[in-house]
Amino acid sequence: MSFRIKIPIPFHLLNVALAAVPLIISIFGITSQISDYIRSGSLLRAANLISSSCCDNFDFIVVGGGSAGSAIAARLTEDPQIRVLLLEAGGNPNPISYIPATASYMFLHPSVDWQYKTASQPNSGYGITKREIPWPRGKSLGGSSNSNFMIYNRGNPRDFDRWALHTGDARWKYKNVEKYFRKIEDYFGNWDGNGYHSKGGPLRVEPVRYRPGLDDVLKAATEKGYDIRDQNADQKQGFSPLDLTQKRGMRFSTYRAYILPNQRRKNLVIYRYTFVTKIHLDDSRRAVGVSYLRHGVKGYASASKEIILSGGTINSPALLMHSGIGPKEHLQQVGIRPLVDLPVGSTLQDHVSTAIGPFILNKPESLILHRDVDVNAIVNFFRNGIGPLTSPQACVGVGLVSTPGHSTDWPNIMYTVASLGMFFGLPYILDTAFSTGKLADTYLGPHVGKDSHVILVTLGLPKSRGFIRLKDNNPLSQPIIDPQYFTDAQDADIKAMVKGVQLIVDLYENTTALQKLDAHLPPTNLPGCENYVLRSPEYYECFVKTVTITNYHPAASCPMGRPYDPNAVVDSQLRVIGVKGLRVADASVMPYVTNTNTNAPSIMIGEMCADMVKKTWNLL
């Protein structure tokens, strides 16, 4: 039963609240750190523990407690005889992260995010300061699953079949990895009961609970000939309501799925606020231990069996290179002695995106924060798990389409439909979060107060590849991240993005369902694109290259492949080539990024890695 009392929050108080979000996050972050520190035992015990430099011996060390690492640590410690150390640079998730509507705000503070930016991009990011595109990455137990938009997408079966062909290992075919997706799921989503999902797994999946305007979008999609379908079954071109990793409206991260239920296991030791600086190899090139900084104090831990690196697509290659594993010439340039010459960080991929909109509406079919978030909404969220606070920035649906030349069974464009109205403060938030100066304020400002939808258009199957490199030999320095957006030789990526934009504009402006809402783009050019004819292909290309953002899906910086593959960093069992006792398990091992969101595939990789390790050591 939901409350109907309408007690609006005054606009000036709302603006104060929005401005205070980073401060609130900071306060909760500090509180969380203190809580984590006390939870580990007495201050004296903690002081003794972190000052030790030689006494931590484990069977396995897992570096990074994100989506893959948390799954690995939980699965390995199912055997009580196996002792596992999990090292995480952050702490427990910020309590605010449990509220899905705060997703974007989680990126704003260094206590929960690495604050990465790309190198200046030659062909994109025209509207961003120095063309350095923000690349948020989560820093806490649960990793980016604490700050993502919670969208549960497995990817296309052909994604995984391509991995299997690339590696020569049939274990990566979809018919084989599907059992791990089922193993992950506690599924109560939009397509419950269709035979493609399972219950009882660690990760809760539920339907989007707040969905203004979604029915109209789905009707418009059917007008254009798209099916409404489960995109986690046999994925094909079509649209769907979102399945989200949440429970009763609250975020359900991999921390909640894997760490929280198992953190009291005696054989699982978790070091929070621990930054790993180096992986140590012995004379036979076996990984034997790691050096780290914990609460600023140096430490060392050893592993008798294996070290599993799950730092993510940026941190995993960076740590390998700081440990002497990487491109020989580059390591020498930054003053690191090469131990194993591998193409670490050389084949980076990401889902480049743009936000097209706002599609202005004449009816209240969107979330306008200053109108719709009131005391009633807050009470309903905490009591009933419903309302606008359950939604990650009003995202309600996903569409997958194929541009000309691509199979409809393997779509290359993804739409994330956000029923996001132009609320007061939104332009400022966007300009701040994405370093766009006054771009959002100039373009969106005249429409503040209006209902609208915004569509995130994402290139699901990019051809461009970039790289991760070290700035210097200081492990605390941020690495150089260069995704090289829109640099493929045939310009296929930008052509596909322009077509993707044209298709979604056509859906909004030329269907009966959405024209009932008078859906339309603003009749003005985006700042910086004034010299192009509005709505022409050239204008949309300018738009995409000006409003360039990541969809937070970096991958393929430590790709798996056959041992003789010149681009391979790990083999098909995720073992670092030329090194014993060291694996990598996270999105970095994907040889090609999946065509949709990467959180579920990253968890699947963690589950597969855990089984591979167990089989190696006869622990199954």
Catalytic residues, which ones?
Answer: 553
What b/e sequence results for 257-274 when a residue is b if at least 16 CB atoms lie within 10 Å of its CB, and e otherwise? bbbbebbebebbbbbbbb
Phi, psi (deg, nearest 5) at residue 418: -110, 115
The Cα 254–Cα 259 span in angstroms is 7
Sign of CA dihedral 401, 405, 409, 413: negative
CB-based contact 239:223 (threshold 8 Å): no
For 250-286, list the strands marked E by DSSP.
250-251, 268-271, 274-281
CB atoms within 10 A of CB 133: 25
CB-based contact 198:182 (threshold 8 Å): yes
How many residues in total does the chain contain? 620
DSSP β-ladder status, 413-418 and 227-228: unpaired
**Category of 461 on φ-ψ map: left (φ > 0), alpha (ψ -120 to 50) or beta:** beta
DSSP β-ladder status, 297-309 and 250-251: unpaired
Measuring CA to CA, which residue among 173, 132, 123, 149 is closest to residue 398?
A: 149
The Cα 481–Cα 487 span in angstroms is 15
Phi, psi (deg, nearest 5) at residue 307: -115, 130
**Category of 568 on φ-ψ map: left (φ > 0), alpha (ψ -120 to 50) or beta:** beta
Residue 6 CB partners (closer than 8 Å, separation 6+) = 374, 376
CB atoms within 10 A of CB 81: 8
List, in sequence order, every residue forming a beta bridge with 135; answer none if it has no partner: 116
CB atoms within 10 A of CB 615: 11
- How far from chain centre, in Å, is Cα 334? 29
Residue 63 CB partners (closer than 8 Å, separation 6+) = 69, 87, 276, 279, 290, 307, 308, 309, 310, 311, 319
Residue 537 CB partners (closer than 8 Å, separation 6+) = 498, 502
The Cα 264–Cα 266 span in angstroms is 6
Phi, psi (deg, nearest 5) at residue 527: -55, 130
CB-based contact 229:189 (threshold 8 Å): no
Listing DSSP states for 185-243 in one string gives EEE-STTTTSSS--SSSSEEEEE-S--TTHHHHHHHHHHTT-EE--TTSS--SEEEEPE
